[in-house]
Amino acid sequence: MVKLRLLVSTLLVLAAVDQRVVQAGRPAWRWLTDSSDITPVPEQDEPIEAVQPLAPNRRQPVDESYRLPGTTAPIHYHLSLRTAIHENNRGFSGVVTIQLKVLEATSTITLLNRRLTIQRARLLEDATEAEIEQPSFVTDQRTEHLTFSISRALAPGEQYKLRIEFTGQLQNNNNMGFFASSYLDNQGDRHYLASSKFEPTHARSAFPCYDEPTLKATFELELTHSRLYNAVANMPANGDPVPDPDNADYVTTRFVKSQIMSTYLLAFAVSDFTIRTAGQQDVYARSNVFDETQFPLEMGNRVLDALGAYMDISYYDFMPKMTQIAIPDRGTGAMENWGLVAYGEPVLLFNPSINTYRNRKSVTTIIAHEYAHQWFGNLVSPHWWEFIWLNEGFATVYEYYAAQLAHPEGQYWELFTTEVVQNAFSADASESVRPMNWNAGSPDEIAALFDTVAYDKSGSVLNMFREVLGDDIWRQGLKRYMNTRQLDGAVAADLYTGLQEALEIGNAGFLPAGVTVSDLMESWTSAAGFPVLNVRRTYTDDHSIILSQERFLSNRQVPNSHVFHIPFDFTDGATRDFTPTPAGFHWMSSKASKISTTVPHNQWIIFNRQQTGYYRVNYDAENWELLIEALRTDPTRIHHRNRAQLVNDAYNLARADRLDFAVALRLMSYLKHETEYAPWSAAGSALTYFYNKLRGTPSYEHFRVYVNYILADAYAALSIDTVTPQETMLQLYLKQFITTWACRIEHADCLARTKQALVTAHAANTPVHPDISTAVYCNGLVDVSDEVFVWIYEQFKNSRNQAHRSVLIDALACSRNTGQLQSLLSVALGSGSEFDALLATERTRIVSAIYGASRAGVDALIDFLAIPTNVPEFVNRLGAGTLNSAISNIASRTNNQAELDRLNALLSSLGTAVSDTVASNARATVQNNFNWFTTYEGLVALEFFEKFATMPQEL
């Protein structure tokens, strides 16, 4: 241990802290990672890791040996667990008695077991529980099958009980299985707790079980724990805790018998949390954040009631209560366990005095997402993980829709297109992406199904059909689906049947002749990717349009014979009717077709009103010109969602070589007159792309002129350093976007006003209003004194709200002062009592925030890693993966020869600390950055920005 040498001597809060070998230098969807306008500099062209490179074949072969044999099935579990987590003892013990039925003649009973030690097993008579025998058993480590061998044949229809005694180890803060977490109280003392997260295949790590979604059963649970702790589970407690006869320091909490459900939905927690209750709902959280549970409790009641009314099936018809629990150090995930929804603290707790409007939005929509699962996933579960989109796709739709129902003034549904549909497009445009229906065998394959396809694509496709069928028929179909499959498993065909029946009852005749709902939906659910609808107007007397479809790919055009059943609608410059209605949709069920319209040749036409359909649209050159002229003249004549669609489609069509890039950039120039958030949000990925390509190059100044031009009017209309009560959520989104980009291109007024707002707040010792804190702190910190930097660091150090701490980490990383950044990196690697409150995720976030904020941060990281004695400490504290990621991100932000020289020097300095593969990939990334300037796309873009900088009115 050596004394930390700080280059910023005034950061007194850090000056006396001991650290190991840290001298000078410096060394991050889904829920709280919002769109590109939050992060100081988003990642460059990074692949979507969640989408696995699988061939587009729905029924790909899988290893069926991972599946249970199907000879027996569970009826009921009685599970007893004992934990001493209050002492930070990670061992636990348990006894499970499984009432089972025999489906086929067998002499074995096979369950699933992951790393549990089985001590003894007894096969019992079902009625009397008299012991029949103590079967031998063995676990296959590959398949995780726990097989009990029975000395006699078990006949179909017979029922038995299998009692198993076992021990296990709590997993360590990894949000899997039965795992341990901890937190600090106000006195700095650490408290420990244990909770569960079993989806998709982790119940088997807590107790031996039939861990497949369709093998449902009822559960009786009892938890033995410290008498100073409490226990919570899916069901209410069955009376007060009972003293443990073997140890006076322990009690046993027993719970009411559960509803029939899948093993992955069983949930429980043992903690010393406090509880806030309202009606049949309550929220559990650590006592020092109790005040932050009011908002989620109120919103939970509103959302659950709204969903029950919408579904016409009350949650309380099946479950007696709803509990939400905030797990510290669990990240930003959440899990929809029936009756006990578990969240990471940042996405449940809300403090209006420090948390932003984005936090409020995230808390609301994530509660709505998890509560939607109480129907989609809990009441009706997927028959197998192939159909996980029946859970996650619906929950994604109602994440926004139910939030809107519960809180109409919140404008949540306005974000669905940009946050879900356009995000899905990005991930779904790869040739290797999987379809929605996709089989899986092993636990790793199953886990890989929880990706952008399962969530955002599936939500986009489902919402498209909701719009096409109409919400009334859609709801009737969902109710029939739920009533038919409740407390059971479902496959995609069950959903299609429910919707088909609702259509027939409603006498809705707008489906193509001879085509069923199944035909329509299967063209989307069992095919990879999505289409682009090509619209070519003939400009002849019959006003005809030739339509064609093909699969959209981001990098090239590949022949594809698949035909999507595309529901299309359109409007034009004369009628301007942008309201989608079931009667307004037509079907494109061939590769090409010709339609006639009455649209005058001099009027624009727009397909896919409000972008309700999950497809892109490309037009002929003349129609694009008509649209550009209309947007420049009066953008309000086109619906704001379609303006966002045009921006997003044009940019991505250009990236895919389907549209001249100059057309896309000319269209985006209309944003100078844009006052709505959605089109600006759609433009964010394009602006980020060019920023990342051009920063640090001679062409960057031309790009700055372009961005300054389109921002100027919107920026002038905003008060970037104040908040009024009248501002809506979308106005706050817009303000943050515009402010972030204005300061990013070094707009003098933006930098001056944010700095002054920060200095004024520091002088008054009053934190900046949370709804402008992200922009003011980050941009104000670009050039401030060490005293102000320390002031914000103190807020971070003293905050117990994880979402607030993340905002402050990102803000601190925005400094351009090398000494301040090095001090912050020292915090990431710090040890000792000063740093006990730091979460592992916060340490790595500091690093990624610093290299993501600016080139100054990248340089500071290079300087830090170039000191050989710092590298072992970096890897020891943060892991080799963080180092590899840092190298990759340094490379992605390397745009000129001087920056490449710095990277090469760093790679030489690191030597064997990084592999040859990491180093070669980094150099290849830089070469690709350099090569872009000689590509067709690069040359067109550079010429456009150069001309725009001198004569914008002519483009």
- 622 labelled catalytic: no
Strands (E), 465-543: 488-490, 531-537
Q: How many angstroms separate the Cα of 262 from the Cα of each of 384, 667, 678, 706?
A: 11, 51, 39, 55
Helix, strand or coil, per DSSP, at residue 606: strand
What stretch of H or E contains 773?
A: helix 770-780
Strands (E), 715-829: none
CA-nearest of 615, 688, 679 to 653 is 615
Task: Please tell me whether the peptide bond between 200 and the residue prior to it is cis, using omega within 30 degrees of 0.
Answer: yes
Spacing of C-alpha 485 from chain mean position: 28
Q: What are phi and psi of 693, to 5 degrees?
A: -75, -35
What stretch of H or E contains 772?
A: helix 770-780
Alpha carbons 616 and 608: distance in angstroms, whole number: 8
Question: Terminal CA-to-CA distance of the chain, rounded, Å?
Answer: 62
Of the residues 144, 336, 345, 370, only one is catalytic, namely 370
Strands (E), 29-143: 72-83, 91-102, 106-112, 117-125, 131-133, 136-139
Q: How many CB atoms lie within 10 A of CB 65?
A: 12
Helix, strand or coil, per DSSP, at residue 22: coil
Helix, strand or coil, per DSSP, at residue 214: coil
Tell me which amino acid residue 446 is: I
Alpha carbons 801 and 10: distance in angstroms, whole number: 26
Spacing of C-alpha 331 from chain mean position: 11
CA angle 404-409-414, nearest 5°? 55
How many CA atoms, within 13 angstroms, populate the side-chain half-sphere of residue 493? 2
Instruction: Confirm or deny that 762 is annotated as ligand binding.
Output: no
Q: Which tokens is 305 given?
A: 């009631």
Instruction: Confirm or deny that 504 is annotated as ligand binding.
Output: no
Alpha carbons 316 and 319: distance in angstroms, whole number: 5
CA-nearest of 8, 147, 259, 265 to 827 is 8
CA-nearest of 411, 487, 427, 485 to 459 is 427
What stretch of H or E contains 313?
A: none
SS3 content of the chain, % helix, strand, coil (to 5): 45, 20, 35
Alpha carbons 581 and 576: distance in angstroms, whole number: 14
Contact 809, 791 (CB under 8 A): no
Alpha carbons 34 and 42: distance in angstroms, whole number: 11
Instruction: Confirm or deny that 369 is annotated as ligand binding.
Output: yes
Q: 798: Cβ–Cβ under 8 A, 6 or more apart, which residues?
A: none
Contact 907, 887 (CB under 8 A): yes
Contact 47, 80 (CB under 8 A): no
Alpha carbons 865 and 886: distance in angstroms, whole number: 10
Q: Which tokens is 675 given?
A: 């006052």
Q: How many angstroms separate the Cα of 580 from the Cα of each of 516, 532, 586, 953?
A: 21, 19, 11, 35
Listing from the earlier edge strand, what are the strands of the sheet with 230-233? Answer: 171-172, 177-184, 190-197, 268-271, 230-233
For 358-414, the DSSP string reads HHHHHHHHHHHHHHHTTTBTTTEEESSGGGTHHHHHHHHHHHHHHHHHH-GGG-GGG
* Widest CA span in the chain: 92
Q: What is the DSSP letter of 186?
A: T
Contact 182, 191 (CB under 8 A): yes
Q: Which residues are annotated as part of the binding site?
A: 369, 373, 392
Q: Which residues are annotated as part of the binding site for Zn(2+)?
A: 369, 373, 392
Active site residues: 370
